[in-house]
Amino acid sequence: MNEELDSQLSAMFDDELPPAECELLARRLSRDEQLKARWGRYAVVGAVIRAERGVRLNAPLAGRVSAVLLTEPSLAAQSAPRSARRGGVRWWQPVAAGGLAASVAAVSILWLRAQLPPGTPAAAALASAQPAGPRLSGAGVVPASVTGAAAPGDRYVVPRIRPGAVLVPSTELANYVVAHSMFSSPVARRNLLSAFMTSEPAAAAAEELQDDVKSAAH
Amino acid sequence: MSADASDLSLVRRVQRGDKGAFDALVLKYQHKLVKLVMRYVRNPAEAEDIAQEAFIKAYRALPQFRGDSAFYTWLYRIAINTAKNAVVSRDRSPIEYNIDASSDESYDMHGRMKDSETPEGLVLTDEIRSTVNAAIDALPEDLRTAIVLRELEGLSYEEIAAAMDCPVGTVRSRIFRAREAIDRRLREVFEGGLGRAEELG
């Protein structure tokens, strides 16, 4: 038997071994029957010194407990279903995550619609990608009833035409959508990306046209 | 040094499904627990049964043990409750007698009566006791003082170091060497004695 190991065992028996060493030795102690027997004899020595009379020092109590526990499921096996039950209590988490994703998608689409000029393929894609649910009236959008373009009772809205609207580059929008893709639905994401791809030449043409206009003015 | 780190490391292993670590806890505390239960019941065999039940209850309740108190304190409470319930269910009054070193007379009376059903067990227990005492008597004084201060007085290594005016490392070494010297002689008795017990059983 290793003397250093026995010295550690003695210190562990007295709760005088550092916790990190206890972890390692506890692992070995639980598997090494020789070490366990020595540990048991240390307990007997203590019982004799404390004069624990009336107590049978050779009682097979540990063996009896061990035999009973053989028929018991291990605690790790018991705790698995318990943690599963605990997981069932958190049913609201996926619902909340879905709600959050839908909110982010709705805000993103409204923001993009406010930024894009109407009539472009990207704007059309955004209009089709807007999630179902109550439509919001806010900055940059006006109710259809105000414009008179829709029949009474219709609830959809059309974007307000803003002459000074800043055109967000398609690449930047694509990066934005990709970065937030985990919060948007696959259909909306696919629609947006395909819209960016198809609108790329149109945006480039618009930029060329603007350059042409500027150079003509000069 | 965190108190109870030793027990806690074993407890954590049991909680992760290692039943072998629970054996170590039973081996460490079985005598203390039986002695505790014997405050409530007369018969040592009955005390062992109750202690066994307490250990099994503790095992089953171990997932709820968070380590806020020492393991033995927690186990102690379980054993007391188990013993009280056993006494109530058997319609007996708890008998408050505490056998200790100073009451040899009462030990002789109760102890002999309790072990009367298993004289071989009594002989073996006496043999173990006399072997350990002889081994302790044969120890050098510094080793004997260290192990007695630890086991009888329950002093920490630091307190023993202060009492013996030596470093903590020396205390650890002395206690270990004392245990080894006793264990060398005890092992012979146990190996022979336990074999006899199996034959008798």
- Substitution target in B16, B31, B143, B158 with the highest count of A β-carbons within 10 Å is B31
Chain A residues with CB-CB distance to B40 below 8 A: none
Q: Please name the residue that has the structure tokens 């002789």.
A: B108
Test B132 with A77 for CB contact under 8 angstroms: no
CA distance A129 to A125: 6
Chain A residues with CB-CB distance to B34 below 8 A: 55-56, 59, 61
Paired sense of beta strands A141-143 and A157-159, if any: antiparallel
Q: What percent of chain A has pLDDT over 70?
A: 40
Q: Give yes or no for a contact between B147 and B179, defined as CB atoms under 8 angstroms apart.
A: yes
Q: Give CA B73 to chain center in angstroms.
A: 14
Test A57 with B128 for CB contact under 8 angstroms: yes
Q: Nearest Cβ partner of A18 from B1, B156, B194?
A: B1
Q: Over 70: is that where the pLDDT of B18 sits?
A: yes
Q: Give yes or no for a contact between B56 and B66, defined as CB atoms under 8 angstroms apart.
A: no
Mean pLDDT of the A29-44 span: 93
> Cβ of B40: how many Cβ atoms within 10 Å?
23
CA distance B185 to B201: 24
Test B6 with A64 for CB contact under 8 angstroms: no
| Closest Cα in chain A, distance from residue B91 (Å) | 23
Q: Nearest Cβ partner of B23 from A27, A56, A62?
A: A62
The interface residues of chain A toward chain B in range 28-87, judged by CB-CB distance below 8 A, are 29-31, 36-62, 64-66, 68-70, 72, 74-79, 82
Chain B residues with CB-CB distance to A42 below 8 A: 179, 183
> Cβ of B162: how many Cβ atoms within 10 Å?
13
User: In terms of C-beta density within 10 A (0-12 exposed, 13-18 middle, 19 or more buried), how is residue A215 classed?
Assistant: exposed
Nearest-CA residue of chain B relative to A11? B172
Q: Over 50: is that where the pLDDT of B105 sits?
A: no
Minimum mean pLDDT among A72-81, B69-78, B141-150: which range? A72-81
> Which residues are CB-neighbours of B160 under 8 A, at least 6 positions away?
B146, B149, B150, B171, B175
Q: Has the ipTM of the complex gone over 0.90?
A: no
Q: Which of A121-130, B2-11, B191-200 has the highest mean pLDDT?
A: B2-11
CA torsion angle for B64, B66, B71, B73 (degrees, to 10)?
-90
N-term to C-term CA, chain B: 44
> Which residues are CB-neighbours of A46 under 8 A, at least 6 positions away?
B31, B151
pLDDT per residue as tens digits for the range B132-181 = 999 999 999 999 999 999 999 999 999 999 999 999 999 999 999 999 99
Test A69 with B56 for CB contact under 8 angstroms: yes
Test B197 with A64 for CB contact under 8 angstroms: no
